Amino acid sequence: MLFKNKISKLLVMGILLISLLVGCSSGGKGETSSSDINGNGNNGPKEINTDELIYVNFRDIRDLNPHIYGGELFAQNLLFEGLVMITDEGIQPWLAKDWDISDDGRTYTFHIRQGVTFSDGHKFDAHAVEANMQAVYDNYDRHGWLESIRLLDSFSAIDEYTFEMKLKEPYYPLLTELAVTRPFRFISPNCFINGTTKDGVDGLIGTGKYVLTENHIDQYAIFDVNPTYWGEKPEISRIIAKVIPDNQIRALALEKGEIDIIFGTNMIDAETYLEFSQKEGFAASLSNPLATRMLIMNSTDEILSDVNVRQAINAAINKEEISEGIFNGLETPANRLLARTVPYCDVDLEDYIYSLDKANSLLEEAGWKMNETTGIREKDGMPLDVQMHYNADSVTEKTISEYLQGEMMEIGLKLTITGEEEQSYRDRMKAGDFSITFNISWGTPYDPHSFLGGMRMPAVYGDYAAQQGLKEVKKLHDTILKAFISTDEIQRQAYYDYILTYLHEEAIYVPLTFERNRAIYNEKVKNVTFNPSQYEVPLDKMYIK
């Protein structure tokens, strides 16, 4: 016997195990940094730091070069500004104090704000605008999807504070495209490499409210207020953007007080949103509807090439149930491709109403007869079996797919669903290798022009490929361009009427819900609002109290 009795044995074992546990935990105590990045935020009473906001993102800020698409938009927005900005009241001045548009709609003359400098001291003037515009244009291949680049004829600095852009054709969404986060934002020409930005940049110096002070790749980035900012300085002097890839861990970090806010549709699921909206010490905000979540059907597909089948699928989907059952009412049901509130989209269309009877009669009309033994309709011996692909990384898409699979059986349609890893899913979509898949409109302020414009280009999303089986596809795409270059409001509206009506009648899209932006945050964070663009996070407007 090594020890005399059982009690002493247990005692020794207990002490050893406890000492091990204590040894581990004491190593972590007492380490707090000034900015509380360590996350031991709740150790004892602590005064609220009103100067600092801890934001969270699912990935690193990556390459913030404002002229390419590889960086996180929220971070680019903190550093770089554009000539104009989009507000709820429309296009407003920013680095351009005002502008003139020629009568033919082809020449835009911007009067540049004086007294603005980049945070490295370089003067911001019309020459800096020209250099940036040239840098964007140098990378034409990357920006070819933007009509404003395709239609750009010439541009130049007329004098120190006047900049002129000439277009080949009038293009009414130009100011919107100049206002969105990229690519028309301004970086100090001192950061250019070989006189341009297409091969990268040598610094991230903008005119924005914040400057990037530190970036620890895949960990966190620190943005401090720009001491030389030309306008009103924001209340919060330091923003720390932490990286937490996992959805659940972000929520735990918010609960613990390691982060102050989670912002964005893809960052918070409906369940977490509801949980925090009721949790003490936390608050939640929801934006107005931003974009339409929808299904897209490939009109070149053997079965789906028949408009009756497409319309039947549209009629067989209960959007109310998806809105309530899957989104807990956070997303409202959508019965049209683009909401009436989207510019030029207040068009009278006959909404698709949920009706299994209508769906069944449309399928009968199309020649699909019910096989009572299998419960699946057939036509010339071919079963009504349609493939549907979804992004397996999206919990929402998986749930909707499974729901639809059950729903479609009600009308004798067998929906075979396949989940794929996001990149494969996107590749499939762009290649047009699908029958039914998910789609989303670009959201404000890109809708309707960027969403519709994207339909004209192969490999932007799945729209181009899906529309190839439509009889009037060429006319549709030509009309989209005509709407963009029309200078007559009434004529332009007429073009949009045709586009939206045609797409609605052809039913290749199944609108499901209107997506809304969302945020959950510690109640000390005030003024959590939403910009018109869903991709922007108005961190500069928030304050802590």
Partner 1 sequence: MRNYIIRRILFIIPILIGITFISFLLINLNTSDPAEVALRVNEITPTDEAVAAMREELGLDKPFFERYIIWLGNSLRFDFGNSYINNKSVSDEMLSALPATLYLAAIALMMILGISIVAGILCAIFEDSIGDKTIRGIIFVGTAMPNFWVGLLLMWLFAVKLDMFPTSGMSGFSSVILPAATLSLSYISIYTRLIRNNMVQNKNENYVLYTRVRGLKNWTVTKHIFRNSIQSSITALGMSIPKLIAGTVIVENIFAWPGIGRLCVSAIFNRDYPIIQAYIVMMALLFVVCNLIVDIISASLDPRIRRTT
Return residues touching partner 1 (CB under 8 A): 2-3, 6, 9-10, 12-13, 16-17, 20, 24-25, 27-29, 31, 33, 37-40, 42-43, 59, 62-63, 68-70, 141-142, 144-145, 200, 216-220, 242-246, 248-249, 252-253, 255-256, 258, 393, 421-424, 426-427, 430, 457-460
Smaller CB distance to partner 1: residue 111 or 426? 426
Q: What is the H or E stretch that residue 387 is in? A: strand 385-391
Q: What is the H or E stretch that residue 127 is in? A: helix 126-138
Q: Locate tokens 């030309």: which residue?
A: 230
Instruction: Tell me the three state secondary structure of residue 154.
Output: strand
Q: C-alpha distances in angstroms, 436 versus 303, 339, 432, 462, 512? A: 11, 22, 10, 10, 13
Smaller CB distance to partner 1: residue 114 or 424? 424
Smaller CB distance to partner 1: residue 6 or 474? 6
What's the closest the beta carbon of residue 469 comes to partner 1, in angstroms?
21
What's the closest the beta carbon of residue 218 comes to partner 1, in angstroms?
4
What's the closest the beta carbon of residue 264 comes to partner 1, in angstroms?
17
Distance CA 221, CA 239 (A): 8
What's the closest the beta carbon of residue 150 comes to partner 1, in angstroms?
11
Contact in structure between 419 and 449 (CB atoms under 8 Å): no
- For residues 495, 500, 502, 507, the Cα torsion angle rounded to the nearest 10 degrees is 170
Smaller CB distance to partner 1: residue 203 or 343? 203
Smaller CB distance to partner 1: residue 44 or 381? 44
Q: What is the H or E stretch that residue 187 is in? A: none
What's the closest the beta carbon of residue 333 comes to partner 1, in angstroms?
32
Smaller CB distance to partner 1: residue 250 or 310? 250
Smaller CB distance to partner 1: residue 318 or 391? 391
- For residues 74, 79, 82, 85, the Cα torsion angle rounded to the nearest 10 degrees is 50
Exposed e or buried b per residue across 317-347, where buried means at least 16 C-beta atoms within 10 angstroms of its C-beta:
bbbeebbeebbeebbebbbbbbbeebbbbeb
What's the closest the beta carbon of residue 253 comes to partner 1, in angstroms?
5
What's the closest the beta carbon of residue 36 comes to partner 1, in angstroms?
10
E-assigned strand segments in 102-228: 107-112, 152-159, 162-167, 192-193, 196-201, 210-216, 220-225
